[in-house]
Structure 1
């Protein structure tokens, strides 16, 4: 990492920015100071205000107070619009990249700058030449006529960055990235971080919002930490530890906030049939998956993108019917059973796409938390009082931060939404819990709460199967990890000696014949 002098000039400063949404204070006199040519990490737990600050800087929402300084320009934060932010040289790439998979790289780039035309006709050769020059400038391994849908995830993000910065000269713009790696596998995340580090070394100023502490510590020069809408730490040219950052985010040292230690050994369980057994399971990319999980055991699934991790969970849960093979639950053949039947048999699934498949954002926390147990409250009418009391107790047990159980779920941070989803399933006391990317886009504090809940469930005898692209997560949480290669279980790695680096190495190997 190239050292940046502490006296490097400030190119972006947000001073005493405040923002309220109804009764909720999102930002309270929050500040940010960014030095030229640095990667500046903006950190905080879900709901800390970091994304709200970026939205205020982008002019997406209007701040209630504060000042934004870019270079020599001073702008009241209340008057900052999207157009003014662009004029000031602020460029944004959000988690939703805004790219169209069915269009080529050149066409996606042109959506941001316009298509060159002559006599009302698009000059395709001119466009492709311009985009090829841009791709070379940003060292992006793609061709101008390649459909964006055919690109690797990290390359897609780089295309979005190039589109945002295509009109800048001499790296004068400030690039602000909101969770650019939230949905990327580790290998893709490393590729993107290396590219950002090269851009910073060439003089580009970058503000990075990310929950992935390991990557942040590898690339960032400076750090700002928000908590509950307030600035709580500002570190310039510093080398903090992960624990120091976590404690600043959490507000106090918390055992759960640390890199979670592996859970204690589960209580002794009388020898019985395994909770889950799959034999020769064929579905999608799976070509013959053999798997067995005992009561109280936490097993991880690791593999490259497209290895079949999510397919395995969905097939067990009944979301898709296998082409061949068998699924057994507690010794009973349940192959091809419906999701309704699997739920009745004690199986629960927390899916990868929380917003698309797991929550109803227009409904309240109470309503979302009760979806899995509606029969407890419906007696010809909903017993709302009892439902409300139970939800308050559930929110407290799972440390869900919400102003009220009647708050719309959409108003909660991603981490708190995920805890509601997990709590909703665990209140059914499942015998098998399936978790697909359970902490994707979740901050380190909420992640620790989710780990605690999963460990507690396993300690009570629940079998847990986790599909995750976060190898640190698998190494910290699992009793063993099964590596998928060529659609099969290539190997099982026990907890002893299990590390993220080892999983990275094993998943990159050629498939091992069974």
Structure 2
């Protein structure tokens, strides 16, 4: 892969194609097994390239989940990491800090003041502050490499356009930029060159004039993939358990969806399409601005998650570490957190019952090691996820909401999690599964609803339910 100076180079590929691994290697946080990295004329053996060399050669990565701090000022965000201007005694010189921030903001064309809270800025401007923070010490030069990982994932069309204008200005000034994105329309509009990875290899390397939407979809998806022989038996939906009409929440606009009892429905779409907004609305974490919901024939509008739980709904969030577990607590306590009404009796916690149920969950999910006394963060990611799912299964839920249930887990844990979902459904539950892994949706689900820019564009069933078909639908170009 060759990236020309002063260009915007798009790096594309499906889930598991190797994009993240490549970024980590270029950032020096993961060692390559072999190869060579050349930056600005300097050559390095890839297996010895580290974070120190990346920093010295001005490789900057702005991640999708930025390391900025919303509740600090713009000036503070620009200072963190590089240090504050301070007196000999260590006292922060705030006027100097603000003045330097003003110069950085002016240089990058960011219309904000140093004292504004970052959270008060538009999302695109927050991303631009993160970029400015990465490049601020390159005053008077545009050397090095800027890597942006999904910078537009959560932005509206208008915000995307603002950020794109800024990136074009930076490239015109000589900055070399790699953009990782799933949004192909942006690639067609922005990129000077495109590299597509598939299964860890370069599937295509195209200059701007050879790039078309259809070519990119073909390179990303490859040939049609066979459906896994291990997929569950397709189920015919029973009575309607959940029905939403005209739902508006987050990016979702007038969404209609129906879920039958005993059915597994997948939600496919690119990041920012509204997948997670649907689950959060169903669990009472986000308020809908319009639309109606029926659960088992009765009007449904959860006031909060506790209300959703009382209706028999369980939610496994995408961000397991921040929203799904209590890292400092034991497996026992992580299991009991979703079931406190079982154990809290007359101002007293029934620890024997807690331990008994945690042991039952460990057996159910195949916990390894089978140590319920361990802090949950001492387990592997796959075992943590199995505990999170298992504690909800203890409640015999009527509806499972699963957001990226096998993200970051190994193949064995993935198979175990699929087994748990199928087991719950065979006992009468239904499930809504959000996943960026289209092969997972094809394997696990009875049908898949495809979202594109907040709208339902397809409801895929039977023989059409293949990874390749879902990939093409998710990338389909539709009118804004």
Please say if residues 44 and 226 of structure 1, whose CA atoms lie closer than 8 Å, have aligned partners that are also in contact: yes
- Partner Cα distance (2:246, 2:27) in 1: 52
- 2:175 paired residue number: 204
2:16 paired with 1:36: no
Q: Per-residue deviation at 1:145?
A: 0.8
The SS at the match of 1:214 is helix
For residues 108-136 of structure 1, give each alpha carbon's deviation from its aligned partner in whole angstroms, at most 9, with x where no partner exists: 11123322223333222222122112111
Per-residue deviation, 1:246: 3.0
| Residue 405 of structure 1 pairs with residue 408 of structure 2 | no
Question: By how many angstroms is 1:167 displaced?
Answer: 1.5
**TM-superposed deviation, 1:318:** 5.6
Matched with 1:512 is none
Give the paired residue count: 383
Q: Distance in 1 between matches of 2:266 and 2:14?
A: 27
Q: 1:206 to 1:242 in 2, by over 3 A?
A: same
- Contact 1:370–1:424 (Cα < 8 Å) also in 2: no
Secondary structure at the aligned position of 2:44 is classed as strand
Aligned mate of 1:457, from 447, 452, 457: 447
1:174-233 superposed Cα distances (whole Å, 9 cap, x missing partner): 211122233444443343233212322332210111222222222111111222222232
Contact 2:244 2:293 in 1 (8 A): yes
2:98 maps to 128
Give how far 1:143 is off: 1.1
Q: In structure 2, do the counterparts of structure 1 residues 189 and 79 end up closer, same or farther at CA, with 3 Å as the change threshold?
A: same
- 1:157 deviation in Å? 1.2
Cα distance change of structure 1 residues 181 and 343 upon mapping to structure 2, 3 Å threshold: same
Determine if contact 1:247/1:254 at 8 Å carries over to the other structure: no
SS at match of 1:476: strand
Segment of structure 1 superposing worse, 141-150 or 193-202: 193-202
Which residue of the partner structure matches residue 55 of structure 1? Answer: 24
Match of 2:165 in 1: 194
Distance 1:184 1:200 in 2: 21
Distance verdict in 2 for CA 1:476–1:352, change over 3 Å: farther
Sort the Cα spacing of 1:291 and 1:194 in 2 relative to 1 into closer, same or farther, 3 A. closer
Task: Find out whether 1:161 has 2:131 as its counterpart.
Answer: yes
Does 1:329 find its partner at 2:295? yes
Q: 1:51 to 1:399 in 2, by over 3 A?
A: closer
CA 1:294–1:208: 2 relative to 1, 3 Å: closer
Report the CA distance shift for 1:420/1:47 in structure 2 as closer, same or farther (over 3 A): farther
The question of 1:77 aligning with 2:19 is answered no
The aligned runs of 1:320-469 (5 Å cut-off) are 328-332=294-298, 347=313, 349=315, 351=317, 353=319, 356-357=322-323, 362-363=379-380, 365=382, 368=385, 404-406=411-413, 425=421, 428-429=424-425, 438=434, 442=436, 446-447=437-438, 450=441, 456-457=446-447
Cα 1:195–1:344, aligned 2, differ >3 Å: closer, same or farther? same
Matching residue of 2:152: 181
The two structures, once aligned, show a CA RMSD in angstroms of 5.0
SS of the counterpart of 1:224?
A: strand
Distance 2:27 2:275 in 1: 37
- 1:234 is aligned to 2:205: yes
Is 1:477 equivalent to 2:477 in the alignment?
no
1:140 maps onto 2:110 in alignment: yes
User: Are residues 369 and 238 of structure 1, via their aligned partners in 2, closer, same or farther at CA, if it must alter by over 3 Å?
Assistant: farther
Helix, strand or coil at the partner of 2:214 = helix
8 A contact 1:41–1:224 mirrored in 2: yes
Q: How far has the Cα of 1:106 moved from its partner? A: 0.8
Inter-partner Cα distance in structure 2 for 1:348 and 1:39: 43
How far has the Cα of 1:433 moved from its partner? 5.3
TM-score, scaled relative to structure 2: 0.63
SS of aligned partner of 1:193: helix
Map Cα deviations across residues 322-355 of structure 1 (whole Å, 9 max, x no partner): 9xx9974232466769979967977565645465
Distance 2:147 2:132 in 1: 13
Q: 1:117 aligns with which of 76, 86, 94?
A: 86
SS in 2 for 1:194: helix
Q: Taking structure 1 as reference, are residues 376 and 173 closer, same or farther at Cα in structure 2, changes over 3 Å only?
A: closer
Any gaps of 5 or more consecutive residues in structure 2? 228-234, 326-375, 395-404, 461-475
Say if 1:229 and 1:294 are closer, same or farther in 2 by CA, change over 3 A: closer
1:68 to 33, 37, 48: 37
Paired residue for 2:122, among 152, 177, 194? 152
- Report the Cα distance in structure 2 between the residues aligned to 1:340 and 1:400, rounded to whole angstroms: 26
Name the structure 2 match of 1:45.
Answer: 14
Any idea what SS the aligned residue of 1:131 has? helix
1:245 aligns with 2:226: no
Residue 370 of structure 1: how far off its partner (Å): 8.8
**Partners of 1:152 and 1:368 in 2: how far apart?**
34
Scaled by the length of structure 1, the TM-score of the pair is: 0.59
How many angstroms does 1:166 deviate by?
0.8
Alignment deviations for residues 351-389 of structure 1 (CA, whole Å, 9 cap, x no partner)? 454654468894465884696578999xxxxxxxxxxxx
